[in-house]
Structure 1
């Protein structure tokens, strides 16, 4: 046989290898901390490493998101996993954690199967048995003081089974351990098999106890599916608080047992409501995923629709609106009306009964003194008490409301002195905050800019803070205006890199222990269920790593892992925004300017 014929045969074999049945074209090799792409040939196929496998050993902390904060050891050997032979055990059936573990097991197996949803894998492989060892199995409520740490150890038993042991104080820490374990399972498209590392040891715990997202479901209604996708994505980044801004002046979709007329009049439609069963379903969904659902009843401002027949709201839909509030429709409670406090007491009771909150958000943002000042009987009521209709006088009026509102909340609170969160406002300025909002009861949520002196004043006065500075943490920024032309008020857009670099520790300095954490915010004037995923994800995942690990590096060291994590989110049905061309994730280290290793 001639050399020419042999050459043609060799080329035919190579072409057949490359193009038949959609076989992979590339293999990867770890080069100086980056997975580099090389052509896959018949000679290299047997020892070829897939991109997911390379990431496990080449990326910092095995490509996990968020990176573990403590001890970390991962072996260098992968083994084939039988995804049809996974079992997870936990506390006994007579404990409160048992049902949570059962549901977590279902979620874990579902997530693993979503890695390769087409079922294109070889049969066989090792069985995986995970055991959750929980010290306090009857803890079933997440609180600020809850220990969310865990230890994960993976070993191979003598019978060839892979054993994973998660040790934690409670279910919530154990759940985080399962989340980490799920990220250590990959699908190798070269070998067409699931794989995992069989030698792992991780000690891990969050840096901050409060790691949240606020979602506004009043300006535009959010479907239950959209809310659940949001909570699912939060859990995948170990965020733990879904702050539910459930009512506003635009609509009142929350069905209050005590005051059902509020949603009957105030919801956008009879189908756009959150009734008792819906709320319970969302709370349970969050609990399984380690996410507390915390309600906010924002007052005394941001009320309107639903309250029309009560006589307790002033300035509702007043025009021109910019003279009375920050956006239409205006609306503010009247602190001089005794009956109004009975209504809000009923709302507090309903929310306490349903949510059983360990912390509660009373809102308190954007109270417009010009609204109260435009209402004659309020000004007269103040003058009878010798109060001027100036900032000091209206702050006293606001304190009347806040003091009575707190008293009504405490009548029904299941936990004495439940911490109350309020937004920064004129009432939280240093001239008023200590007199009206004592620091042993109130937590202040910062929405102003990072360089606002207000923050340092509150830290100096001993307040605990949650950071939501709009210059880094508002997810609705950077889109078109809706009350005017141009861009919206808080433009520009906040990229994931900016969010990642927003460190509470760096801002607070030697008072970092007063920072409970941070919370991204999505206000929904220009977003609804059709677009919510891409507004939130994967940007909020950047905050997830910052708050869990408080790494001493910037976003450049996280870029490759972030692209991987975005793929995980998409695999779970979350329509996370693309961050870069896919070429960048397949050619690591080639896209960021001035790449530093």
Structure 2
């Protein structure tokens, strides 16, 4: 076979056939520590069971049912394994065969927590035929969330062997694993295109199968307001695409939160303001700023700017609305947005100009934006008894706006601008704010060919800063804006490209060889396909043993 090199891929491309050979039974994201041997065990679906030997709860009970299904009957794309059990004598004659593995012990050492949180423990150990655990298999952790991550790793260790003909085979293995960053998220935009619950659940499943732990739900924007508020139902009635079908009711939201809870995933809602709020104003009169032209003439009735920051009744509304959000979503963090605020209508509104003059602010509208966020955060702290916590986009720090202690700043600029994201991280962490990174991981930007390398190699701690600054970077997230993405395309557009970011945020910093990662990513892509997810090819010409077949 002749091979030709390529500068655009991390491996050489053959003249014919598949481009690379995937690994077998490798875990994604790569564990912190793993040792394996060539000796193997055989799993039998009719005999196998998870044995709960430690603490248990609803999360554990549901997880063992889910992972039994994932291991033996993984999804819509799979019918039956392509390997078939050889006769017992053939297996037993194999010198590497150890035994049939008919049970895996689940040892949770501490009582279950009910909800995943910012400081949840996700470390776990797997022992399969280790010197202190011979001929046995155990997943152990001090946290239920660690048990979930361990079950995912165990499910990925099981493979079909073409050498032995065994359908469900697993090697003797020991894993000690934990995440590098505590925040490993995915932002899903259901405002530009409505995402049905089934799609959000599939995305949540894929997050869990890549050990991601935060669903950042961008619920509203200029285009639509699909969240059905209990206190203010007119906003979705007039601000959603379709108030009878394209909304999320309180029951819908609870369903997503529960689905995510069972997978160890936090749900953090985003209600971006004061701009990106055109859909809000349709059902909340006087909320938005009326626009005037340079001559002081009121523009057509449908032209509005950001939320009107000088009307007291708007802060009454915002306090009540965010109080409802705090009671609906159990995570204390809410993403307040704060990006891309246009001052055009603020600059020309007579009431605002008078307010600015009275406060001696001249034409410095960043002071008005500071005023807005001071009032908003004060109002939300009052109604939540100082329990609400905030995430904001980086513009607020770019404008030198002061934020409450404990606010997390999301760096989303710097991927294309003159100031790169590493400089942004260095600058923002100097202020002492915890930071999450998303700017190099905007997956809605697509190109033909292999593009996952740039996501994989984007290192959050490569900036010039002190150790204390780098401790403030708590993780990052992939972003999928949905102007040109809907429920048909969001999964293949996102995955497995998002998997590369999941590994960057979970695995050790030294795990950065794209040549080795390509082989493992190819296996992982086929694994997800087998589990019933329509995920895109990751490495060019290849095939999976079980292809997607609708």
What TM-score bracket applies, with the shorter chain setting the length? 0.7 to 0.9
Q: Work out whether residues 473 and 494 of structure 1, in 8 Å CA contact, stay in contact via their aligned partners in 2.
A: no
For 2:80 and 2:186, locate their aligned partners in 1 and report how far apart those are by CA, in whole Å. Answer: 33
TM-score by length of 1: 0.77
Listed one character per residue, the Cα deviations across residues 452-507 of structure 1 (whole Å, up to 9, x for unaligned) are 544322122222110111xx21111147xxxxxxxxxxxx9992111000111223
CA contact (8 A) 1:304 1:329 kept: no
- Distance of aligned partners of 1:98 and 1:183 in 2 relative to their CA distance in 1, 3 Å threshold: same
Q: Is the 8 A contact 1:262 1:307 kept in 2?
A: yes
Is 1:445 the equivalent of 2:424?
no
Give the corresponding residue for 2:150: 177
- Report what 1:534 is aligned to: 492
C-alpha distance in 2 between matches for 1:245 and 1:412? 23
- Looking at structure 2, the residues matched to 196 and 316 of structure 1 have their Cα atoms a distance apart, in angstroms, of 66
CA–CA distance in 2 between the matches of 1:197 and 1:281?
35
**1:317 deviation in Å?**
9.8
The counterpart of 2:40, out of the listed 78, 81, 101, is 78
Pairing 1:404-483 to 2, within 5 Å after superposition: 404-413=375-384, 416-425=386-395, 427-429=396-398, 432-433=400-401, 436-438=402-404, 440-449=405-414, 451=420, 453-469=423-439, 472-478=440-446
Instruction: Find the aligned partners of 2:153 and 2:516 in 1 and give their Cα distance.
Output: 19
Which residue is 1:502 aligned to? 458
Alignment of 1:132-171 (within 5 A): 132-155=106-129, 163-171=136-144
In the comparison of the two structures, how many residue pairs are matched? 496
Moved over 4 A (4+): 189-192, 315-319, 328-331
Greater percentage in helix? 1
**Higher alpha-carbon deviation: 361-370 or 238-247:** 361-370
Distance 1:113 1:337, change over 3 A: same
Q: Return the offset for 1:190.
A: 5.8
Q: 2:312 maps to which residue?
A: 338
Length-normalised TM-score, structure 2: 0.83
Instruction: Summarize deviations over 1:136-157 as a string: whole Å, max 9, x none.
Output: 3231222221111111112399
Over 3 Å counting, the alpha-carbon distance change for 1:143 and 1:494 in structure 2 is: farther
How far did 1:358 drift?
3.4
Q: Does 1:569 align with 2:538?
A: no
Question: 1:223 pairs with 185, 196, 212, which one?
Answer: 196
Mapped contact 1:446–1:455 kept (Cα < 8 A) = yes
Q: CA deviation at 1:538?
A: 0.5
Note the 1:7-26 alignment, pairs <5 A.
none
Q: CA deviation at 1:88?
A: 2.2
Alpha carbons 1:128, 1:164 under 8 Å: kept: no
Match of 1:234 in 2: 207
How much has 1:404 moved relative to structure 2? Answer: 1.9
For residue 235 of structure 2, the aligned residue among 258, 262, 265 is 262
Deviation at 1:108, TM superposition (A): 0.4
Q: Which residue of 1 aligns with 2:58?
A: 99
- Which is worse superposed, 249-258 or 509-518? 509-518
Greater shift, 448-457 or 281-290, is seen at 448-457
Deviation at 1:385, TM superposition (A): 2.0
Q: Say if 1:318 and 1:330, in contact at 8 Å, map to a contact too.
A: no
Given candidates 28, 42, 49, the residue that maps to 1:87 is 49
1:259–1:346 CA contact under 8 A, matched in 2:
no
Local SS of the residue matching 1:238 = coil
CA RMSD of aligned residues (A): 3.1
Give, in angstroms, the shift of residue 508 of structure 1.
5.5
Partner of residue 122 from structure 1, selected from 85, 93, 97: 85
Partner deviation per Cα, 1:35-57 (whole Å, 9 max, x = no partner): xx9xxxxxxxxxxxxx88xx34x
1:291-440 to 2 correspondences below 5 Å: 291-314=265-288, 331-389=305-363, 393-413=364-384, 416-425=386-395, 427-429=396-398, 432-433=400-401, 436-438=402-404, 440=405
Aligned match of 2:519: 560
For residue 48 of structure 2, give the secondary structure of its aligned residue in structure 1.
strand
* In 2, Cα distance between equivalents of 1:89 and 1:317: 65
How much does 1:309 deviate?
4.4
Consecutive unaligned residues in structure 1, runs of 5 or more: 1-33, 38-50, 57-61, 320-327, 480-491, 587-597
1:559-578 deviation line (CA, Å, top 9, x unaligned): 10011111111122221111
CA distance in 2, matches of 1:309, 1:583: 51
In structure 1, what is the Cα distance between the partners aligned to 2:273 and 2:279?
A: 13
Which whole-Å CA distance do the structure 2 matches of 1:334 and 1:315 have between them?
5
Q: Does structure 1 residue 274 correspond to structure 2 residue 236?
A: no
Structure 2 CA distance, aligned partners of 1:551 and 1:250? Answer: 39
Gaps of 5+ in 2: 1-10, 15-20, 89-98, 294-301, 546-550
State the secondary structure of the residue aligned to 1:295.
strand
- Specify whether residues 385 and 91 from structure 1 end up closer, same or farther in structure 2 by C-alpha distance, changes over 3 A only: farther
